[in-house]
Structure formats: structure tokens, C-alpha cells
Chains A and B, each alone.
Chain A
């Protein structure tokens, strides 16, 4: 179902979430804290990424009861994650009436060759990407919103920055290409040609682009927003800090005024606690590098 000449209705919800913070929550109480702090949406999870790293094992879709509890207490949109390629988990999430499905590398992938055919669903999907071609492949499959993968659960923003800069660099190259170069680019990058044409025409992704993975402070949020992200996802960064309420409020404040250092400074001073400790990326063993999951 679509109307000619309107922005896709699935992407429409992402437009409403711009300039905001989407927070990972593992209980109904945390969902209330997030909403009270001014989150634009919550991501209902069983464990935040840093605990998934710590615990090891297979990370799957969260139990339906938990997601339902969070839906029941929230007046803002509720998102939930399914494993990459696990379309049956996605069907369950759709049946649960979540507002957005995150086909996420934070969970253990269920299919190493295929992502979900997302156009078949009525619920919109968000997917992670590390570069332009990956983003366009996901959009080709039906993703209505893209976020950087970053390296979740690390409190280390370096990978999110790498992915934002990579995307910006490639978009600039596409914008400056001529028509004959575009098909060659599509071939080399492995990106759908029709979507590359849209990028060339508009100078940006055809859907909103948010940042995720390793954001732990108001300044991290401001950095990602200034690099072109239109909203931020904060996972472990809030409820693994030692003052979640203050961190949640401060990151919301910094995101709304990301281009005003005086306000970001004010937000930083209001933290009254230390950020999650964080992890150096090179300390992580290869199989636990989440950004490498999916393609």
C-alpha cells in the first residue's frame, strides 16, 4: 500500500523521531525513566549490548512478555530487535505490534547469507550499516531507517564515527559522479543502481540516517549529530552509567542542541556521575566484533 508522491509511511515515523534519542531499556521501570527523560522511542531488550558481550552465548529476540510490558507502560514508540535474517522472529514482533523492528547485529545472526526481505512486512525496519553500499542494500530490502552499526556495548564512539564519515565520504563521491560512472560505482560498491541514482539526486540517503553503537556521553551525541546523524540510539551508555536518569536527560538535551556547545557543556555538567567504563576496540576478540556481522 502506498500513495504516489509521498514519503513512504514507514519512513514517515522515522521522520518523526528526528532530533531525538532512542534508548535501550530492559525493564518497564527503565522504559518510564527513558520516557520521563525525553526519549523519542525505546528499544525493548532482554540485555543491553555490554551484558550480551559479557555473558556470551546466543543472543536472541527478547521474550514477548518483556516486550509487551514495555509496550504497556510506554506512550512513545517501542522498537525491538530480531536476529539478522531471522524473519520468523520479525513476524512475532510484528504480531506483538511493536512500532519498529531492528534487524540487529547486536543479536547472534541467524542467517549469514541473507537479511530479511523487509518489504514484505507492514512494520517498518531499521538496519545497521557501516558504509553507503551496505545502507543501500538494506534499503533495497525495505529498511525504512538506517543507523550506523558502531561497536555496540563498548561505550567507545570510534566505530560509529568511522561509519558516519565513511557514509559521508561515499555520498560526496556519488554526488560528484557523472551518469556513466554511476553504474560502475554500483558494480564496485555492490549497491542497487536505482538507489544510487536517488543518492546522487538528493545528496543524502533516501531514508533518515541515525547514529548507534558506543555513544556514552552528551558530547558523543553532539559529535555524531554534527557528523550528519539525524538522531542517536543509546544502548548501554545510559543504564550502564552510574546515574541513568541524569545521563538520559543530558543526552536528550545535547542532541536537541547539538550545534550549541554552551548547551552541550551545560548538559555535560549536569551528569553528576561517570560514564560507563568503556572498551578499547582492539581488546575485543574477533567473533565478538558486532559491526562485522551482516553485510
Chain B
């Protein structure tokens, strides 16, 4: 079997690469059975099976998405494919953003507070599902919006706050599993599982 044949059944996981923590995802995605693609343009973004909105600065990312005209394609991907937002990316996916308030793709019915834990000095490590992860100037998921308590899953909480949520085919984590050097992280496995399941549904429907 040539490597092209091997790759044919693998899901393509795009990481939005306008700014932020992009390349550390590659070994995780590959170890979890996906193909890693850093995406910067609308054409590249539309070619993925699942999209990661990575860590970085959410204000910068929003401005770049706007300036490079990527808002429509990201909205479309959100409607049709699994999307995972990490830290800044989680902020982009929350329905309500505070400290300060800013616009978002509003995929997940939750309220999120930017830099909720404070400045860099308050950054820390935590264990989630026996896997060490980093919280870096992390946002806090303040609450799940009323009426959605049952349809938003919370795989992990710290100090009574959700730090990992799943809703439909969306996933958000306020921490960074990609900075851990044991590949793949359980979060990457879980996300790629969603992408594979979604591709399976599409194939069946076709």
C-alpha cells in the first residue's frame, strides 16, 4: 500500500494558523490517526474534516479572521464539521464573552471570562484524566447557559468550573493539552473520534 492509500481514510484536521500555538498539535494529531494541516486561507479551511481553533490571543485572532475574510468559511465549517476551540479558541466559540465582551462564533451555549484566573504568574499545571495539561492566562467557563444544562457535556471540571465541554460536534477546553509531550492527548483522541464519526455519518448518507 502506498502512503497515499494509507492516508485516504485518515481525517484531515486543520489548525487555524493565523496566529498562536499551531505546530505543537502536529504530533498529537498524527498519533491519534489524523492528518495535520495548518490552514490560513478560505480554500485551505474548507478542505478539512475537522477544525481546531488554537490557543493564542483571541483579540488578535478575531481581527485577523475579519481582515482576511475568513468569518464566513469558519461559520460554515462550524455548521458542518466538528470544531475544537482551545483557550483563545474556546473564547471564539462561546455564546457570551466577558472581560471585555467581544464577538464570537457562538457555537457553544456558555459564558466565558477572558483571563479569568489572572496574569501569567497565575498560569499552572493540572491533571485531567491522569494527563498533565497547562493553563496559560486561561479563560474561565463561568456557566452553561440556561436551558442547556442537559445537552452540554462536561468531561472535566476544576474548582467547580467546567474546563472541558462538549456540545453537539463542538468541543472546548480552557487548557492546553498540545503542550504535553505524550502523544496523543486524550483530548486529541476524543476530538478525532468525533471527526471520524462525522465522516462515517456522511458516507452512510451518501
> Residues of A at under 8 Å CB distance from B?
1-7, 9-10, 12-13, 15-20, 35-41, 75-77, 94, 97-100, 122-124, 249, 252-253, 256-257
Q: Which chain A residues border B99 with CB–CB below 8 Å?
A: 75
- How many positions in chain B have a CB within 8 Å of any CB in the partner chain? 40
A103 to B129, CA, bound (A): 38
A37: B residues at CB distance < 8 A: 63
Residues of B within 8 A of A (CB): 17-22, 24, 40, 55-57, 59-60, 63-64, 67-68, 87-88, 99-100, 114-115, 118-121, 123-125, 132-134, 136-137, 176, 179-182
The answer for the CA separation of A41 and B124 in the assembled complex, in Å, is: 20
Contact present for B20 and A122 (CB under 8 Å): no
CB distance from A207 to the nearest CB of B (A): 12
Tell me the nearest residue of chain B to A98, going by C-beta: B119
Residues of B within 8 Å of A256, CB to CB, are: 18-19, 40, 64, 68
Closest to A96 in B: B119
The interface centre, meaning the residue of B60, B68, B87, B121 with most chain A CB atoms within 10 A of its CB, is B60
Q: Contacts A12-B176, A39-B60 known; A7 to B134 CB distance under 8 Å?
A: yes
Q: Closest A residue to B24 by CB, please name it.
A: A15
Instruction: Pick 10 A–B contacts, CB within 8 A, sort by A.
Output: A1-B125, A2-B125, A6-B132, A9-B124, A18-B21, A40-B19, A40-B57, A77-B137, A98-B120, A256-B40
Across the interface, do A19 and B20 meet the contact criterion of CB distance under 8 Å? yes
Q: How far apart sit A283 and B128, CA to CA, in the bound complex (Å)?
A: 57
CB distance B121 to A13 under 8 Å?
no
Q: Is the CB of A38 within 8 A of B134?
A: no
Chain A contact surface mostly: loop
Contact yes or no, B125 A9, CB < 8 A: yes
CA A15 – CA B86 in complex, angstroms? 13
4 closest residue pairs by CB, A with B: A3-B132, A99-B120, A3-B125, A38-B63
Residues from chain A with a CB closer than 8 A to the CB of B119 are 77, 97-99
- CB-defined contacts of A253 to chain B, threshold 8 Å: 64, 67
The answer to whether A19 touches B137 (Cβ under 8 A) is no
Residues in B with CB closer than 8 Å to A98 are 119-120
Contact check: which of A6, A13, A20, A99 meets B60 at CB < 8 Å? A20
Question: In the complex, how many angstroms separate the beta carbon of B28 from the nearest chain A beta carbon?
Answer: 12
Closest residue to B114 on the A side, CB-wise? A75
Known A17-B57, A75-B114: A6·B125 in contact at CB below 8 Å: yes
**Nearest CB of B to A229, in Å:** 14
Q: Are B115 and A9 in contact (CB under 8 A)?
A: no
Docked-complex contact B181 and A16, CB < 8 angstroms: no
| List of A residues within 8 angstroms of B114 by Cβ | 75
Please, how many angstroms separate the alpha-carbon atoms of A269 and B22 in the complex? 29
> Residues of A contacting B124 with CB < 8 Å?
1, 9
Knowing A1-B125, A19-B19, A40-B60, the reply to whether A99 touches B137 (Cβ < 8 A) is yes
Q: What's the minimum C-beta distance from B136 to chain A, rounded to whole angstroms?
A: 5
Asked whether, in the complex, the Cβ of A5 is within 8 Å of the Cβ of B182, the reply is yes
Q: How far is the CB of A263 from chain B (nearest CB, A)?
A: 8
Cβ 8 A contact of B123, one of A13, A35, A41 = A13
Report A-chain residues with C-beta under 8 Å of the C-beta of B55: 15-16
* Inter-chain contact B134/A20, CB cutoff 8 Å: no
Could you tell me the distance between the alpha carbons of A98 and B99 in the complex, rounded to whole angstroms? 18
Which residues in A have their C-beta under 8 angstroms from that of B179? 6-7, 12, 15
Q: In the complex the two chains form, what is the Cα distance from A2 to B182 in whole Å?
A: 15
B102 to chain A, nearest CB (A): 9
User: Which of A6, A37, A76 lies at the interface centre, i.e. has the most chain B CB atoms within 10 A of its CB?
Assistant: A6
Given A7-B134, A13-B123, does the pair A75, B115 have CB atoms closer than 8 Å? yes
Shortest C-beta distance, B201 to chain A (Å), equals: 34
Which A residue sits closest to B102, measured CB to CB?
A75
Give complex CA distance A15, B137 in Å.
Answer: 12
A18 CA to B124 CA, complexed, in Å: 20
Which A residues lie within 8 Å of B88 (CB)? 16
Given A1-B125, A122-B121, A18–B19 Cβ distance below 8 Å? yes
Q: How far is the CA of A5 from the CA of B178 in the complex (A)?
A: 11
CB distance from A248 to the nearest CB of B (A): 11
Q: List, in ascending order, chain A residues with CB within 8 A of B64's CB.
A: 38, 252-253, 256
A97:B121 contact, CB within 8 angstroms: yes
Given contacts A1-B124, A18-B21, A252-B64, 4 further A-B contacts (CB under 8 A): A5-B180, A36-B63, A40-B19, A40-B56
A5 B60 Cβ-Cβ under 8 A? no
Q: How far is the CB of B34 from chain A (nearest CB, A)?
A: 20
Contact between B176 and A20, CB atoms less than 8 A apart: no
